């Protein structure tokens, strides 16, 4: 059964190669330029092979997106271990959100269907997104122990503010410097958190 195991491992490897290639092309040329044939070329296979690993391009994109939310989740957990103060936690998580979007913009784009990235599978069906939402909601709750609906609402406000600034600063990248945007982001998130309690 060793062969089967190795086969499985190499299968997992190829699978992640495909996702990695998709991300690399997206980073260089944008998601609208990502095609099954280009991916196949890069991993030195013919196009139909990709369908051995992903049912469709849509599913491939949805898995990449999921990977993004899982990455965020782990980063958030890292923060939870580092800090105890809820305010500090929420602030640090806000900063991670920003850094993530800066360092892996193609990831952020596919997660929110921005700029040519289009995955028709609804994002709110992603378990990873739910998990991320729960983590942040829990922090807010430890902050302000209110009813479920209030927490949901405060989370929505936090998320909107963060996502709004990130996506607009992506949109205006050449019009407003990222450094300037980042400064505004930090101060605005800080103030939002301070005024939360």
In whole angstroms, what is the distance from residue 114 CA to residue 104 CA? 13
The region of 40-48, 79-87, 92-100, 168-176 touching a second copy under the rule CB under 8 A is 168-176
Q: How far is CA 50 from CA 59, 78, 83, 121, 148, in A?
A: 11, 34, 42, 19, 43
The region of 30-38, 125-133, 140-148, 178-186 touching DNA under the rule CB under 7 A is 30-38
- 163 belongs to the binding site for a second copy (CB under 8 A): yes
DSSP secondary structure letter of residue 116: T
Torsion angle defined by CA atoms of residues 87, 90, 94 and 96, in that order, rounded to the nearest 10 degrees: 110
- 121 belongs to the binding site for a second copy (CB under 8 A): no
Of 34, 140, 165, 189, which one interacts with DNA (CB under 7 A)? 34
In whole angstroms, what is the distance from residue 58 CA to residue 22 CA? 12
Q: List residues binding a second copy (CB under 8 A).
A: 32, 112-116, 118, 122-124, 153, 156-157, 159-165, 167-168, 171-172, 174-176, 181, 184, 188, 195
Q: List residues binding DNA (CB under 7 A).
A: 7, 34-38, 44-49, 51-52, 56-58
């Amino acid at each position: 059964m060793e062969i089967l195991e190795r086969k499985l491992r190499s299968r997992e490897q190829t699978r992640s190669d495909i996702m990695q290639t998709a991300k690399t092309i997206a980073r260089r040329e944008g998601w609208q330029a990502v095609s099954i044939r280009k991916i196949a070329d890069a991993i030195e296979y013919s196009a139909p092979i990709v369908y051995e690993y992903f049912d469709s391009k849509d599913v491939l994109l949805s898995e990449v997106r999921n990977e993004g939310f899982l990455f965020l989740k782990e980063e958030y957990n890292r923060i939870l271990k580092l800090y105890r103060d809820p305010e500090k936690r929420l602030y640090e998580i806000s900063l991670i959100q920003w850094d993530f979007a800066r360092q892996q913009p193609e990831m952020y784009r596919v997660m929110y269907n921005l700029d040519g990235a289009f995955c028709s599978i609804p994002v709110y069906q992603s378990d990873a997104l739910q998990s991320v939402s729960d983590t942040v909601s829990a922090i807010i709750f430890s902050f302000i122990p209110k009813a479920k609906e209030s927490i949901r609402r405060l989370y929505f406000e936090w998320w909107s503010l963060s996502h709004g600034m990130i996506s607009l600063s992506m949109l205006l990248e050449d019009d407003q410097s990222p450094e300037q945007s980042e400064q505004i982001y930090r101060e605005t998130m800080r103030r939002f958190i301070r005024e939360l309690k």
